[in-house]
Structure 1
Amino acid sequence: MGPATLPLEVFLQIQDEFLDLQGTSLSILEKSSKVYENINGETQQLLKDLLNIPTNYEMLFLQGVESTQFAMVPMNFLVEGM
């Protein structure tokens, strides 16, 4: 666990809802894109409110942790066709 460890209650809720999102008997992977878009939109809005992120900023959620991000930096400088 890193310096931004989530409280145990959050992990327990994630565990509880992973296979049964909001009492639907379906996981987030099985839900329609509309359900995901609602969750994603709410998450972005909560983060913008919490962190005072200006409304003209866009948010991008990426898979991976720091090692993935470090690998992406040089990939951004690759010349097409290499």
Structure 2
Amino acid sequence: MTDRVYNFSAGPAVLPVPVLEEAQKNLLSLPGVGMSVLESSHRSPHFTEIIETAEANLRNLLNVPDNYSLLFLQGGASLQFSMIAINFLSGTEKPADYILTGSWGKKAIKEAKREGTVNVAWDGADGNYN
């Protein structure tokens, strides 16, 4: 395919054509299942197998020990900023220290301030974040 573009943005990325073709084939009907993953219950045995296989492969690839939990979450970095603040700041009087390293740091601090007290331990704006 000569009309494929290159994408160097933060994501999502351009995938190789063989990967897309494999996904396309399996999207119509999962092997041995007779239906698409889009039509499957998240409680079904074949979907459970997909998640368990993905977790096992990720643990193996990144050498993550069994005493750590792996979470597959939707939402990207911005959602994670909220989740971190909710889990660590909500319901506590303890402050959180943040370093301000640019636009992503600003977003993280903004979300944390919704849940509690935030101290900016370092702000790199004066030096253009260098």
| Contact in 1 for aligned 2:33/2:46 (Cα 8 Å) | no
Per the TM alignment, residue 56 of structure 1 is displaced from its structure 2 partner at its CA by 1.4
Give the equivalent residue in structure 1 for 2:67: 56
Give the equivalent residue in structure 1 for 2:116: none
Q: Give the partner amino acid of 1:47.
A: L
The farther-off stretch of 4-13 and 34-43 is 4-13
Is residue 44 of structure 1 aligned with residue 55 of structure 2?
yes
Please provide the CA RMSD for this pair: 2.6
Per the TM alignment, residue 4 of structure 1 is displaced from its structure 2 partner at its CA by 7.6
Aligned pairs for 1:8-47 (under 5 A) are 8-22=17-31, 24-32=33-41, 33-47=44-58
Unaligned runs of 5+ in 2: 1-8, 92-130
Q: Give the partner amino acid of 1:25.
A: G
| Contact in 1 for aligned 2:27/2:38 (Cα 8 Å) | no
- Paired residue total: 80
Cα distance between partner residues in 2 of 1:68 and 1:36: 24
Residues 44 and 68 of structure 1: CA distance in aligned 2, closer, same or farther (over 3 Å): same
Per the TM alignment, residue 3 of structure 1 is displaced from its structure 2 partner at its CA by 6.3
Cα distance between partner residues in 2 of 1:58 and 1:35: 21
Tell which structure's C-alpha radius of gyration is larger: 2
Q: Percent identity?
A: 38
Per the TM alignment, residue 23 of structure 1 is displaced from its structure 2 partner at its CA by 5.3
| Contact in 1 for aligned 2:55/2:70 (Cα 8 Å) | yes
Give the equivalent residue in structure 1 for 2:16: 7
Unaligned runs of 5+ in 1: none
Q: Which has the higher helix share?
A: 1
